[in-house]
Structure 1
């Protein structure tokens, strides 16, 4: 992706990576400590190439984007900030790809901006009515900064523990330290209320008119398939679900090539990319 930059949205700075030209795709990261737009999406963005206009922000409280003064993190803020960012960039229509927390934001954005959001890809998504707080998500939100916290968090995210390498642990530990002060305000206990905050009502989900692709790992312990993706099939009007076997919470990391092909095909139904 191109060099990072900062855009002012509603008077507050939003840090983002941006690349390419063509149809616009907003890429929204998930919620673990140390998560950033570039950390979540840079490899996928490089593989998708330059024929898309890709926008990957750090959402408020993550990476280099602060929570605006007088505000607090949550679905309302993240949704408004995402919409405001695309307005500030002058993008009138765009697809949204969101992972975990970012999937809930993507669905909320599609409900709020039906004229602008053309397609939604919700990966390992939150947002389903009635979804409980899993023990693994509770542990991830509470993970302490440092190598031990990073190792524990990464081990919960993936099925294949060979992916929890020393370099991955070191990189995540550094990102956790860098973002610790802003992140500290986001998910204080009791944490079940933050799952409730990221839940969309049946009425709100029914307002999503854009086609939705749900992508999920069969062995996801953080947002289990049965309580998150499957209930959404009942609420979304134009939806399909792709399940990866032998996959935990991050299909983009565990099945990168197939995930990118899936993404490209769905985002560009007419071909040509």
Structure 2
């Protein structure tokens, strides 16, 4: 089902189908090898808000599918909905199943990185290549920045302060963007589900999203790990750990970049990810030597 009339007014609303029992809002653009983009967990986030600058370019070489995960954006929020990794992985797999996609490349941003990592561990045959950007998914002491993001209470001033944490380049963070994200965060149901996901103390949610080291070390996939050097939300050490543990990983660190790699360095991000996904090479599991 397409929400065509609404989408004219709000580009965040695209298509809709039921994935693992959850009516899911998702974007489906382009043609070619399927590429699933999984957004982060900031207040007022949606797939479109997260990926809008890179979807058009990536869609020139791939079929880009970008859903709102349950609890975020314009996906339904059923009463009493549970929010945890089992639910999110199930929804992502349910979306692939409903679209008839047997195997996809995954790009996960922050929270979405933890989700992509968990999906690849649980169903490795459903994943071709993996991109983890500013990713959660390993245990780390929660940063003041992430604690502030997950502890957000709605006000324009609070949103403005959060956006200052996200971006290294402050010119990207103006009052208009802060107003848009603030208004997104107070749409009906948005803050209620957001507050229900990450109540204090919030270290436990970092830990709950972490995959086991042995499982990460056993991943057979070609993996690109990306991080912003000046990221104040998720520490660079996370990506150093992931790049060390994943046998077929490569690491790219963007200088003068905060947590918004795909926004602060959109053109470079597209080239890097596009080249990684397009390069020739075996994608079957390689024998592990460690």
Give the C-alpha shift of residue 46 in structure 1. 1.2
CA distance in 1 between counterparts of 2:218 and 2:87 reads 19
1:1-273 → structure 2 map (5 Å cutoff): 4-128=14-138, 130-178=139-187, 179-226=190-237, 228-270=238-280
Give the C-alpha shift of residue 174 in structure 1. 1.5
- What SS does the corresponding residue of 2:256 show, helix, strand or coil? coil
**Which residue matches 2:5?**
none
CA distance in 2 between counterparts of 1:209 and 1:51 reads 24
CA distance in 2 between counterparts of 1:142 and 1:70 reads 21
Structure 1 residues without counterparts, runs of 5 or longer: none
Closer, same or farther: CA 236–62 of 1 in aligned 2, 3 Å: same
Structure 2 residues without counterparts, runs of 5 or longer: 1-10, 282-290
CA contact (8 A) 1:2 1:19 kept: no
Deviation readout 1:60-99 (Å, 9 max, x if unpaired): 1001123455542122211111111111111011000010
Q: Which has the larger radius of gyration?
A: 2
TM-score, with length taken from structure 2? 0.88
Number of aligned residues: 269
Name segments (4+ residues, structure 1) moved above 6 Å: none
CA distance in 2 between counterparts of 1:17 and 1:236 reads 30
- What SS does the corresponding residue of 2:54 show, helix, strand or coil? helix
CA contact (8 A) 2:31 2:60 kept: yes
Give the C-alpha shift of residue 164 in structure 1. 0.8
CA contact (8 A) 2:31 2:59 kept: no
Give the C-alpha shift of residue 205 in structure 1. 0.9
Give the C-alpha shift of residue 2 in structure 1. 10
Q: Aligned Cα RMSD in Å?
A: 1.7
Deviation readout 1:109-137 (Å, 9 max, x if unpaired): 11112112001111000112x31111100
TM-score, with length taken from structure 1? 0.94
CA contact (8 A) 1:2 1:18 kept: no
